[in-house]
A and B are shown apart, each in its own frame.
Chain A
């Protein structure tokens, strides 16, 4: 019995040891280890390094050396004392909430619409997803052109519709620039919301709806009592993911307004970047980044929890 079941390859000792190695737990550790080491060196180390820099005075002069003056929490103190701090905090809050909320509502509307059964529904939904695939710099360029005050299409269309009489200076009016970059970022992010919500919707069994319809529940009641509760894990995951991704709107803001005019569209990631790479105050930039990392990780943990709730590990 045992002879007939023996694998022919087991006859050579070399094969045997190699096979045993490839079957052993070591191989799993090695396979995961390569990627883990890469991320540890290029993400973990920078985060730790960032924390160190945030309590040092880092200038262009001492950048290559490891011995820099320690300043304790001075960088953080300066940030809080900076007159820009409150403005940037306000901008970040408004920008994040507006983006997450509007993108979610638009995304849900689109997902529900394209879930109806009609010819070419998935193709058309795919077309809308194109926006999310485009390089952010291209989106920034296109919206800067659309929102231009002199020959921008948006001003022309609004004037044609009789909604405005004069020109609107979307990008150079400090009271409008944050709105302008928000519009562009909503355009960018709504399809992502749509596709994740569509995935959630597709996961709801159709017979639940049929049963509810037989019981006399109309579309609104079915949405409120079936769709929303069953979609809740997806919604939690999506809201935390899109909160964090809003921090990536850097590219759009940097292209369209550079955070200006007068810092009216400046948000924390932009401020951190400009502090490091324009003012060469790397300690200050690192301090903002550290604070934002803490915030992002809290949201990320909420995201991980909601994903794991959705799919037991």
Chain B
């Protein structure tokens, strides 16, 4: 609202070709500010102790060192935590996809009162917080002797991701015209085979998005392993990380090195699938 209208218009006209690039610059600034904590974690993990705790922190490591990384792998057995994380997250992903596929397909292809009620129930289950569910789960698993097994953690974590997977996959299946399957069946292909030959390949993008998100959620799960297992050698990364940072006096160079190692696969996976995850989330996260 400042300045006379003609001058303002002239300035605006001069800026028009520049506008998109200025906006990109703003976008880069936003992303940089937002991602600063991640950057700070990585560069802090590369600093040796005096530099790490310097009164005036250095914005990049002046004497970068991998000592903390060497230490956590050689002395703190971080490899085992990562291995447990991989076992648990892959099992959760596999179990979730097996259970979700049938349910999502059936819910996408039928429209009755009961399927609608099912979808509502699944949405409600999706939002139950693990810290509240874990009390009865612990007691139940304890009664059937499953406490202190990774199997218990896999089952518990699957309850957290399965509703989400069903809802997302249902959206993918619903987008595939049923006529394609019917055409194949007229040609003599049973529905079961038609599903695997035609529908499943067409739902590929949905599967990539769902399985990577399920994997990431399972990979980050903390409450269930923390409470359902107390043997250190079974624990996944988040519980291991907690043992580094949960105490009042954390050993920060080790803790940040561990956090960096633990988060690296997440960032790599996300970078590869970014576009698909974003479009998948915007298409089906709420529905």
Q: Which residues of A contact B (CB under 8 A)?
A: 7-9, 15, 18-19, 22-23, 27-32, 34-36, 38-39, 42-43, 45-47, 49-50, 53, 58, 63-64, 66, 110, 113-114, 116-131, 133-146, 148, 150-151, 153, 156, 187, 191, 195-196, 198-199, 202, 234, 237-238, 241, 244-245, 247-248, 250-251, 254-255, 258, 269-270, 272-273, 276-277, 282, 285-286, 288-289, 292-293, 296-297, 299-301, 303-304, 307-308, 310-311, 313
Contact = CB atoms under 8 A, between A and B. Distances in A.
A250 B192 contact: no
A19 B125 CA distance: 34
Nearest to A109: B30
A39 B162 contact: yes
B222 A53 contact: no
Given A118-B21, A124-B27, A35 B99 contact: yes
B128 to A, nearest CB: 6
A212 B279 CA distance: 28
B274 A123 contact: yes
Contact of B134 (A23, A245, A270, A273): A273
B35 interface: yes
A66 B26 CA distance: 61
A277 B227 contact: yes
A123 B31 CA distance: 10
Contacts of A64: 142-143
A300 B128 CA distance: 9
Contact of B259 (A9, A141, A273): A141
A277 B283 CA distance: 39
Contact of B282 (A15, A198, A288): A198
A244 B129 contact: yes
Nearest to A268: B132
Given A15-B190, A47-B128, A304-B120, 10 more contacts: A18-B190, A114-B27, A118-B20, A118-B24, A119-B21, A121-B24, A138-B220, A145-B252, A146-B40, A255-B242
Interface stretch (B70-78, B199-207, B262-270): B262-270
Contacts of B185: 7
7 contacts: A47-B128, A124-B24, A133-B270, A135-B262, A138-B262, A247-B129, A282-B135
Contacts of A129: 274, 277-278
Interface of B: 19-21, 23-24, 26-28, 30-31, 34-35, 37-38, 40-41, 44, 52-57, 99-100, 102-103, 105-107, 109-111, 115-116, 118-120, 122-140, 142-143, 155-156, 158-159, 162-163, 166, 185-186, 188-192, 216, 219-220, 222-223, 227, 237-238, 241-242, 244-246, 250, 252, 255-256, 259, 262-263, 266-267, 270, 274-275, 277-278, 281-283, 285-287
Contacts of B106: 27-29, 31-32
A187 B143 CA distance: 39
A142 B129 contact: no
A interface majority secondary structure:
helix
A297 B255 CA distance: 37
B135 A137 contact: no
Nearest to B27: A124
Q: Which of B19, B133, B156, B277 is the most central at the interface, judged by chain A CB atoms within 10 Å of its CB?
A: B133
B47 to A, nearest CB: 10
B105 A31 contact: yes
A53 B103 contact: no
B118 A196 contact: no
Contacts of B137: 42, 46
Given A118-B27, A119-B20, A144-B250, A272 B192 contact: no
B190 A138 contact: no
Given A118-B27, A187-B37, A50 B136 contact: yes
Most A C-beta atoms less than 10 A away, residue of B155, B227, B246: B246
Contact of A34 (B103, B128, B223, B277): B103
